[in-house]
Structure 1
């Protein structure tokens, strides 16, 4: 396994008019971070110099035009463009969206080529990234296409993990999206991720209902009874510890979530509202199910405070730590599964 400082963390710079660049700089102003990884920021040395001066940051970095030029234990900036970028903090700008995509595409190529070990993405604006050549609602869908696998939005902290059956789907379409095949696919993705990425050999998973009060026996909706419950019973029969559906309104307030390794919500706000209420500023968005590791902070571009030097970097810093930890866990899991004797010895110690 790699030495900690030799784990190469690629960073896409996100929307330059938002807080992404500030939280990246603040994260690596702490020189101890370089004991855990070697960062590569996909942007340009000119742009990063402007941002460094704007925020009075004391970071120093190594500008590179080829990934082979990176220096371990230093902050590296991979030049994705050489022109001067007009940064206007707090403003939505289509041109800035183009730079966000240039950064993301370059970082993704490096990830696919194993030039970087993991990817941490700074926040983008989902509107200004749209173009004739980029038509994805966000990072997750783009990376699923580029990297392959059954992607799943997985919000994580040290004590709480929330996965989603559906993510960026309009509320009016949610029930139609939730099929038996989708439920099985998402639960299998979560189950495998908990084993290989989080070192949990026998995970317990709770699933929240689709309708209020899980439909109240059909009074408020039939999907919980006709789709969700039968599918969960089928999954249980395969030996997985899957429970539910639980009524979402009382699940978190009653602290029932503490009894499970992961909670799977039926839709975006059902899962993310309690997650962010309980962990905002410390949470991480992890894309499970891909053949590479990608994390991001649990917030957006925050235009309203961009450029003011007051953004909190903790969530981004946690995203870096999570990517490193998941990378290590996955590497160990792959080593153990390829060596049955090591796996047996580890199981005996538990």
Structure 2
């Protein structure tokens, strides 16, 4: 009699559970477990636990997922290695699932990464070991839950792409909310997947402010499409904040190069007064990060909170 094959190790089951769950969401994206991509810089095949590829606002996108089933919290060196891997394969968004949480330095390093943007998700070890599929579904639903905090009596929701801007804007609005009633954290490129969880009974206007780069524009365009399909308010640009970003921001180099036609399609979502400037920015291979609109500006220019969005 041949030797019986051993059961897969728990870490392998964890990876498979993540891949199967994302596939079961039925989003139309392609999901690969244990994928390989050739590094642009290393010219070496790089391994990705789960690779999700699809389209966002008609443009190809990819999300790389790392799965860590460890006894100790994930440390900063794991996050650093993941960031380096994604830079090598030119993937702009990554997610790390962990059954043991993350150390504070690891979380801070992930939060501070601009390319790629890194999201951290913790899954209960005990529940995973006993009910793998149920737990993974719960973890995914938790990760997709939209973070929205009330700051005033208004019914406008202002969504910020990045965590630093979310924290700064929330703190300022708690003292002077203007017409804004809620502030939400868009979790970078994950916002379109969370739009349907917004409670339309509380919100009559959704305003969005993010980076002025290719992904920063694709995200609200796709989120607006999802919102329209779900019967929610349109996702509109926070025009005054984008105006401030164009005035205050310092252009940074970008790895995304677009044609004139692509730049025009991406900027159609913006206020008409901003489109030409942003087209030139994108075509020059540059970007503006929303953190340039900092706490100092937000506190000293209260009128932006009363004129929080444009019109689509």
Higher normalized strand content (fraction of residues) = 2
TM-score, with structure 2 as normaliser: 0.31
TM-score, with structure 1 as normaliser: 0.29
Between 1 and 2, higher relative CO (CA 8 Å, sep ≥ 6) is seen in 1
